[in-house]
Structure 1
């Protein structure tokens, strides 16, 4: 008995929600959400590009310092100061280790940067598709309204108007549910990467 009541309540709530949902408003909200994700992905991609430039700059500076330490060690040995030469060579070894670390971080950054670029491009494509679907929806809604206005002036002939309305609106509802699933999937991916 309680299960049947529960089902009945759920059915009425879902029916009410479906009646108040406006497809155009839902698509606009999806577009805002995806646009926000696009901006966030672009920001992360730009951050990864900037980090690569910084790492490359640091690696270049370390290489220059490495070469300079080599020259300084030679000068210290020529001057007969082996203790100074040891300190310089010790510093040179530390610089070498730093260079290796920077090279590893650059390689890791390249992977992350490529991934962020791909995510950005996918979201940008998705946003473009949503814009196109939104335009399709607007055109379909306008066609239905125009059809209803014309049929309001003229008599309905054998229920053709109802058939046209269903044909115009049904494909869009199917697309919207498809869009909604894709958006939910993208949101999960973006949130899991954040």
Structure 2
């Protein structure tokens, strides 16, 4: 039955080695399970064929054995009746039946041993399948947890790139505070008293005009 076990590319003994190199362990496990399941199906079919064949061999063996016993009784009956030639014929047929009985018995025993071997192989494969299937469910759950963790990390990274809400509003507060400061400064200037009023009426101070031009250039407003 070892021929059945060799059709798989990956056996349970080498599965772990392949898993260490696999990018997607769950996919590899699924391939192993599929191959094992196919072997189990084929082995179950072969087991059914062996069972039917074994029953046929056993029937042939038992029929030959019954024929042997029958011919032996006939030989005894013929001798009792003084029919020596008939007894000789019956014993000849008895020997043929005995030979057939031994042949079918040997075939049946070999078939029975093969079927027992196949049953052990089937039991091992079913056990392997269940063990790997349980591991598959475990690793599948781990992979799903990993994917969810990666998605969560990605969302947090995206949120972190834009800054926390507190930081965003702090920057907005600073901007508004700056605008408020500028507005107050202009208000204070307009309420600055006689000097500011004189400037408003058009009094020209060369020094002031020079500094004004410097400020314009600094602010990019120069003509």
Normalising by the smaller structure, the TM-score range is: 0.5 to 0.7
The 5 Å alignment of 1:97-176 reads: 97-155=99-157
* TM superposition shift of 1:155: 4.1
Higher relative contact order (CA 8 A, sep 6+): 1
Distance 2:102 2:64 in 1: 10
1:60 aligns with: 62
Distance 1:64 1:106 in 2: 16
Unpaired segments ≥5 residues, structure 1: 1-17, 157-194
Larger Rg: 2
Distance 1:47 1:129 in 2: 28
* TM superposition shift of 1:144: 0.7
Note if contact 1:45-1:120 (Cα within 8 Å) is conserved in structure 2: no
Distance 1:31 1:145 in 2: 23
Please state whether the residue corresponding to 1:80 is helix, strand or coil: coil
* TM superposition shift of 1:142: 0.7
1:81 aligns with: 83
* TM superposition shift of 1:51: 2.5
Distance 1:71 1:111 in 2: 33
Distance 1:110 1:57 in 2: 13
Unpaired segments ≥5 residues, structure 2: 1-20, 159-223
Distance 1:42 1:125 in 2: 14
1:47 aligns with: 49
**Higher mean displacement: 121-130 or 103-112:** 103-112
Per-residue Cα deviation, 1:1-56 (whole angstroms, up to 9, x for no partner): xxxxxxxxxxxxxxxxx89x643333222211110111122222232233322222
* TM superposition shift of 1:91: 0.7
Figure out how many residues of one structure are paired with residues of the other and give that number.
Answer: 138
- Normalised to the residue count of structure 1, the TM-score between the two structures is 0.62
Greater fraction helix? 1
- Normalised to the residue count of structure 2, the TM-score between the two structures is 0.55
Distance 2:48 2:118 in 1: 9
Distance 1:74 1:44 in 2: 45
* TM superposition shift of 1:118: 0.9
